């Protein structure tokens, strides 16, 4: 998993001082492109990892080879734990590695580093919509979560804009759409970052439950949203090559049922309306065949007729 690799890459750099992407790839048994992306991710996150171009170059950990993390600053340690600790699919090995890294940190950094590891939850399954750009509030809110500071924000909700002061508990990245899980006078609330109009981090301490279970809270939020939206389920046949693409289009509502007799793969997909299912499948053309229900097949026929009327009839 990526979290394991990031920890292993950093420890490898500590042992050797300087590495190339090819050396990391060989050591961790991944592609050179993957190793390079991991090195760039460490550098972008604020870890003191820098590339050195030219012959004899590579990637260096500033300060040379070290056997522990005592050379990291507080902000660098937080950046590492934000990057590594956010995956919902972190393995037992990665968790063990993080504990060892915590013990290697200076005592004054440990609490904030551990808090950073819990500051962000990544839900890889999107809502089935197009990816959105990263919001400018992410970094500010990460810092507020780690340092346990209240935030004041202007929020644009269904009833219009309102001013709120909340206790930020954690961030959730769901398919590049970000959410803030926070405590408010009315209890726990979830806010979409793309609806925040203005935000400032206050000096006021923000209390947080000691038994906070962000993963459990987020699972309940997702279930509530899905129940409100309702679901229309369809059975689809597609080529093995497109299985992953179709699943990505539907997020957590794309399930592989197994191979079909004709060499294609059978999937179950779902969305909130038959039209929505059809719209997500229309781009695949004849490569995705809907077996049922009839309502989705009918919507695909309507979409096809609309496209023909728009583009084929007017073609010269």
Q: Which of 177, 212, 247 is the last residue of a domain?
A: 212
pTM, entire model: 0.49
**Calpha distance 71→54 (Å, rounded):** 27
Do residues 268 and 234 both lie within one domain? Answer: yes
**Calpha distance 91→274 (Å, rounded):** 37
pLDDT at site 219:
80
Between 64 and 305, where is the model more confident? Answer: 305
Do residues 208 and 282 both lie within one domain? Answer: no
Dihedral of CA atoms 161, 165, 171, 173 in degrees, nearest 10, equals 0
**Calpha distance 6→199 (Å, rounded):** 31
pLDDT at site 1:
47
Question: Phi/psi of residue 128, each to 5°?
Answer: 90, 10
pLDDT at site 34:
85
Tell me, yes or no, whether 165 lies in a domain.
yes
**Calpha distance 112→254 (Å, rounded):** 38
- Residues in CB range of 143: below 8 A, 6 or more apart: 149, 201
Q: What is the CATH number of the domain that holds 32?
A: 1.10.10
37-65 pLDDT per residue, tens = 888 877 766 677 778 776 667 888 765 43
Tell me, yes or no, whether 184 lies in a domain.
yes
Question: How many CA atoms does the CB half-sphere of 208 hold within 13 Å?
Answer: 24
Looking at the predicted structure, is the pLDDT value of residue 68 above 90?
A: no
Looking at the predicted structure, is the pLDDT value of residue 32 above 80?
A: yes
Do residues 101 and 202 both lie within one domain? Answer: no
For the ranges 5-9, 56-60, 248-252, 303-307, the maximum mean pLDDT occurs at 303-307
Tell me, yes or no, whether 256 lies in a domain.
yes
Please count the residues of the chain.
Answer: 316
**Calpha distance 308→220 (Å, rounded):** 43
Tell me, yes or no, whether 219 lies in a domain.
no
pLDDT band for position 132 (cuts 50, 70, 90): very low
Q: Greatest CA separation found in the chain?
A: 74
pLDDT at site 46:
64
Q: Which of 182, 212, 242 is the last residue of a domain?
A: 212
- Domain span at residue 204 reads 138-212
Taking alpha carbons only, the member of 205, 208, 210, 215 closest to residue 188 is 208
pLDDT at site 67:
39
Do residues 164 and 268 both lie within one domain? Answer: no
Do residues 70 and 157 both lie within one domain? Answer: no
Arithmetic mean of pLDDT over the chain:
76
170-189 pLDDT per residue, tens = 888 776 678 888 999 989 89
Tell me, yes or no, whether 220 lies in a domain.
no
pLDDT at site 109:
46
Dihedral of CA atoms 142, 148, 152, 153 in degrees, nearest 10, equals 30
Taking alpha carbons only, the member of 264, 289, 265 closest to residue 278 is 289
pLDDT at site 312:
83
Do residues 95 and 155 both lie within one domain? Answer: no
pLDDT at site 116:
47
Q: In sequence order, what are the beta bridge partners of 18?
A: 60
- Which tokens sit at 140? 């500010």
Do residues 59 and 99 both lie within one domain? Answer: yes
Do residues 84 and 9 both lie within one domain? Answer: yes
153-163 pLDDT per residue, tens = 999 987 889 99
pLDDT band for position 302 (cuts 50, 70, 90): very high
Element (H, E) at 149: strand 149-157
Do residues 259 and 193 both lie within one domain? Answer: no
Q: What is the CATH number of the domain that holds 248?
A: 3.30.70
Tell me, yes or no, whether 223 lies in a domain.
no
- Which tokens sit at 69? 């993390």
pLDDT band for position 259 (cuts 50, 70, 90): very high
Do residues 247 and 304 both lie within one domain? Answer: yes
Tell me, yes or no, whether 143 lies in a domain.
yes
Do residues 172 and 269 both lie within one domain? Answer: no
pLDDT at site 36:
86
Q: What is the CATH number of the domain that holds 178?
A: 2.30.30
Between 19 and 315, where is the model more confident? Answer: 19
82-128 pLDDT per residue, tens = 555 544 444 454 445 555 555 555 454 455 555 544 555 555 555 54
Tell me, yes or no, whether 307 lies in a domain.
yes
- Residues in CB range of 139: below 8 A, 6 or more apart: none
- For the ranges 19-28, 79-88, 228-237, the lowest mean pLDDT is seen at 79-88
Number of structural domains found in the chain: 3
Do residues 41 and 108 both lie within one domain? Answer: yes
- Which tokens sit at 274? 């038959």
Q: Which of 212, 242, 260 is the last residue of a domain?
A: 212
Taking alpha carbons only, the member of 1, 294, 242, 263 closest to residue 254 is 242
- Residues in CB range of 187: below 8 A, 6 or more apart: none
DSSP 308: I
- For the ranges 10-19, 100-109, 225-234, the lowest mean pLDDT is seen at 100-109
Contact (Cβ atoms closer than 8 angstroms) between residue 290 and residue 281: yes
**Calpha distance 180→153 (Å, rounded):** 12
């Amino acid at each position: 998993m990526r979290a394991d690799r990031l920890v292993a890459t950093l420890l490898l750099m500590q042992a050797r001082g300087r590495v190339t992407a090819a050396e990391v790839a060989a050591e961790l048994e991944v592609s050179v492109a993957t190793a390079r992306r991991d090195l760039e991710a460490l550098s972008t996150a604020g870890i003191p990892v820098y590339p050195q171009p030219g012959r004899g170059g590579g990637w260096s950990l500033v300060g040379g080879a070290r056997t522990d993390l005592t050379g990291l600053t507080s902000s660098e340690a937080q950046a590492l734990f934000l990057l590594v600790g956010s995956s919902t699919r972190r393995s037992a090995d990665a968790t063990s590695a993080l504990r060892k890294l915590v013990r290697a940190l200076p005592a004054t950094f440990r609490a904030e580093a551990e808090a950073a590891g819990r500051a962000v939850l990544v839900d890889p399954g999107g809502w089935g919509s197009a990816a959105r750009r990263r919001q400018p509030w992410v970094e500010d809110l990460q810092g507020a979560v780690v340092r346990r500071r209240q935030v004041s924000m202007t929020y644009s909700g269904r009833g219009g804009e309102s001013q709120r002061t909340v206790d930020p508990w954690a961030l959730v990245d769901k398919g590049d759409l970000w959410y803030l899980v926070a405590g408010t006078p009315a209890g726990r609330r979830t806010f979409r970052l793309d609806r925040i109009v203005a935000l400032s981090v206050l000096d006021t301490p923000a209390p947080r439950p000691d038994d906070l279970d962000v993963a459990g809270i987020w699972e309940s939020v997702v279930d509530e949203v899905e129940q409100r939206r309702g679901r229309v389920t369809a059975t689809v046949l597609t080529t093995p090559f497109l299985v992953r693409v179709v699943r990505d289009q539907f997020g957590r509502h794309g399930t592989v049922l197994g191979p079909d007799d004709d060499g294609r793969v059978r999937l179950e997909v779902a969305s909130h309306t038959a039209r929505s299912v059809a719209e997500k499948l229309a781009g695949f053309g004849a490569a995705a065949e809907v077996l049922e229900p009839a309502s989705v097949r009918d919507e695909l026929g309507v979409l096809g007729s609309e496209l023909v009327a728009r583009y084929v009839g007017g073609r010269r």
